[in-house]
Amino acid sequence: MDDYRRAFDRLFAEPGRAPHAPYQARHLDAPVVLDLCRHPLLLARIHARLGPAVVLWRTNFYRKDAGDGALDWHRDRDHWGGLLDPMRALSAWIAIDAATRESGCLEFRGSDHATVPVELAPGECVLFDQDAWHRSRPNTSAARRMGLAVRFTLPSVRIRATRNQGRTETLLLEQR
């Protein structure tokens, strides 16, 4: 992950992008981001759950600097509205930096309403679907907490928002 992190930091430092733009849909223009999205260890787990053909339909970097605030409980299906029909998605949130309780790791709500913090070392990831309730607390550490969410769905799912800056965001990945 150290090599990826260095490459990503160079991308984010490139001038000329709107403040949020360095973090969205970078698999389209940055081969190093696509490379991580297609990492064999990741795809093996995605194919095991979704089958031999999957669609990468969205990527988002989530940056939480030291002192940054919380993201409240939500399910991704409620944010995506009618973007996917039917609503079927599997997200891989990959830790670029260490994600700890102190730095604001993702937390999931179990069926018994217990909260499960998922601490990740750089390079580890957590998989969750559109129905998983999750949040992240403020970053009370001194370090940045960056993650990359890679969103997958099935080829049979109709994707309504497929364009970002005039280009299609989706990519069909077939198991080798």
Contact footprint for ligand AKG (CB under 6 A): 62, 64, 71, 76, 91, 93, 134, 136, 147, 149
Residue 27 CB, shortest distance to ligand AKG, in Å, is 15
In the bound state with ligand AKG, the residue whose beta carbon lies nearer, of 45 and 174, is 45
Residue 15 CB, shortest distance to ligand AKG, in Å, is 25
Task: Provide the phi-psi class of 6: left if phi over 0, else alpha when psi is between -120 and 50, else beta.
Answer: alpha
> HEC profile for the chain?
CHHHHHHHHHHHCCCCCCCCHHHECCCCCCHHHHHHHCCHHHHHHHHHHHCCEEEEEEEEEEEECCCCCCEEEECHHHHHCCCEECCCCEEEEEECCCECCCCCCEEEECCCCCEEECCECCCCEEEEECCCCEEECCCCCCCCEEEEEEEEECCCCEECCCEECCEECCEEEECC
In the bound state with ligand AKG, the residue whose beta carbon lies nearer, of 98 and 147, is 147
Residue 32 CB, shortest distance to ligand AKG, in Å, is 20
Residue 103 CB, shortest distance to ligand AKG, in Å, is 10
User: Of all residues in this chain, which one has the CB nearest to ligand AKG in the complex?
Assistant: 62
In the bound state with ligand AKG, the residue whose beta carbon lies nearer, of 26 and 134, is 134
In the bound state with ligand AKG, the residue whose beta carbon lies nearer, of 8 and 147, is 147
In the bound state with ligand AKG, the residue whose beta carbon lies nearer, of 54 and 103, is 103
Residue 4 CB, shortest distance to ligand AKG, in Å, is 17
